[in-house]
Chains A and B, each alone.
Chain A
Amino acid sequence: MALDKNGIAQRIAKELKDGYYVNLGIGIPTLVANYIPEGMNVVLQSENGLLGIGPFPKEEDVDADLINAGKQTISMVDGSVLFSSADSFGMIRGGHIDLTILGAMEVSENGDIANWKIPGKMVKGMGGAMDLVASAKNIIVAMRHVDKYGKSKLLSECTLPLTGVQCVKKIVTELGVFEVVPEGGFKVLERAPGVTLEEIKNSTAGKLIAEEEVPEMAL
């Protein structure tokens, strides 16, 4: 059975390592915070200016002066620290953030990503996405394999305006885990529980690389 968005987040959480500083994008990536293994120290960055995002606050602790990059009210944890947005992006650009997890509209087989603009339809802006994808040491994309019209989001080339070039290393969708290989192509690392390679092939427009036997994901 294909994963739901929580399943995607749960699988991505397995990529976390003790001591990581991580930036989570809006949407499915935010859910990854719910699956950080017990006892593992992972510090979450909010690019508006906070390291150490805590859970949503209790009603009586809501503070308008404490929000995450999705403009949601949040709390802090022991060891949290606040800073300006310039310092925050200095951390990102300077390579001090270990992992960035973000959503995408399209990813190409050479690791290009498009996630900020649909010409003529959506002009919200790129926010911090261009800085994050250009600078993070490791980028994992969390997204649906196909769009709402059934069109594949894993493509030979992106059709939408790019957010960054040759930057995505790994993609987790409801169908599986994919590595963007240096020579170009999506290598199937794992299948979602019950999903066949055939189903993955049918949903992928870009070049797919698969061994004869692809292991099923363990959650």
Chain B
Amino acid sequence: MINKVVANAEEAVADIPNDSVLMLGGFGLCGIPENCISALVAKKITGLTCISNNAGVDDFGIGLMLQQRQVKKMISSYVGENKEFERQLLSGELEVELTPQGTLAERIRAGGAGIPAFFTPAGYGTEIAEGKESREFDGKMYLMESWLRADFALVKAWKGDTAGNLIFKGTARNFNPMMAAAGKITIAEVEELVPAGTLDPNTIHTPGVFIQRIFQGVNYEKRIEQRTVSQ
């Protein structure tokens, strides 16, 4: 069997160079590749383009990379919980491409599925339509959007096996499965890594064909942005 297992995050991201295009899974702080982000922060590479639905918060997630000015450009749908992000954006230090969330998800899915472009109604008639082709289908207007692909995709799963097969938990799935398929090299960090043959093939969400490197992460913080409880 192909050996995909690496020891840890440091080894997994060791060959990621400056100016890479990265995808990072997660919605808010839910399902983000915490170990890989820590390793990138320690590695101090710069000039990165990060494709991720959000940009973390000031002191966690991608926010940690923003603090060190490692990010040149973000492609995201919502970046509201991060003051340093907003400061860099308004001062022009950081380039941002805001994309509707469903369009972002589909652009990534298209990247992994080999579909260079598609039409969606989201954003027609708004400023994000500027410079994009629009076309009518059955009486409704649609915008053409292009695929997204990455040099490295960093995803987080609940369980994985040595063949790279992944199972996600709860809403931590979010963007991770599409990103897994859209990376030239995809690195999966999992909470529990098991031998191939242990997971029930019926329950696997992401097939191992999309994963090049996998490791069992450590010290998951899983920070909660809005802890809401009922009595």
Contact = CB atoms under 8 A, between A and B. Distances in A.
A134 B119 CA distance: 12
A202 interface: no
Interface stretch (A55-63, A137-145, A183-191): A55-63
B186 interface: no
Interface residues of B, number: 56
B31 A65 contact: yes
Contact of A49 (B106, B128, B173): B173
Contacts of A77: none
Contact of B171 (A66, A92, A126): A66
A65 B122 contact: no
Given A48-B27, A71-B28, A85-B174, A124 B108 contact: no
Given A67-B171, A84-B174, A126 B227 contact: no
A165 B30 contact: no
Contacts of B171: 46, 48-50, 65-68, 82
B78 A135 contact: no
Interface string A157-188: 00001111110000000000000000000000
Nearest to A129: B100
A126 B96 CA distance: 13
Contacts of B227: 62, 72-73
Contacts of A57: 229-230
A46 B70 CA distance: 32
Interface stretch (B1-9, B10-18, B196-204, B218-226): B218-226
B148 to A, nearest CB: 12
A152 B86 CA distance: 28
B101 interface: yes
A134 B177 CA distance: 25
A130 B229 contact: no
Contact of A131 (B27, B103, B172): B103
Contacts of B222: 64-65
B122 to A, nearest CB: 4
Contacts of B31: 65
Interface string B82-123: 000010011000001010111101101100000000001111
Contacts of A83: 173
Contacts of A13: none
B228 A128 contact: no
A6 B225 CA distance: 24
A125 interface: yes
A89 B78 contact: no
Nearest to A66: B170
Contacts of B47: none
Contacts of B176: 84
A85 B178 contact: yes
A130 B127 CA distance: 11
Contacts of B177: 84, 86
Contacts of A82: 168, 170-171, 173
B77 A128 contact: yes
A217 interface: no
A74 interface: yes
A57 to B, nearest CB: 6
Given A71-B225, A85-B102, A89-B101, 4 more contacts: A58-B229, A66-B170, A85-B175, A127-B101
25 contacts: A58-B229, A59-B229, A65-B30, A67-B28, A68-B171, A71-B29, A71-B81, A82-B170, A85-B101, A86-B178, A88-B105, A89-B106, A90-B106, A92-B102, A112-B125, A123-B96, A124-B78, A124-B79, A125-B98, A127-B100, A127-B101, A128-B101, A131-B101, A134-B121, A161-B126
CB-based closest 3 A-B pairs: A89-B102, A124-B80, A131-B102
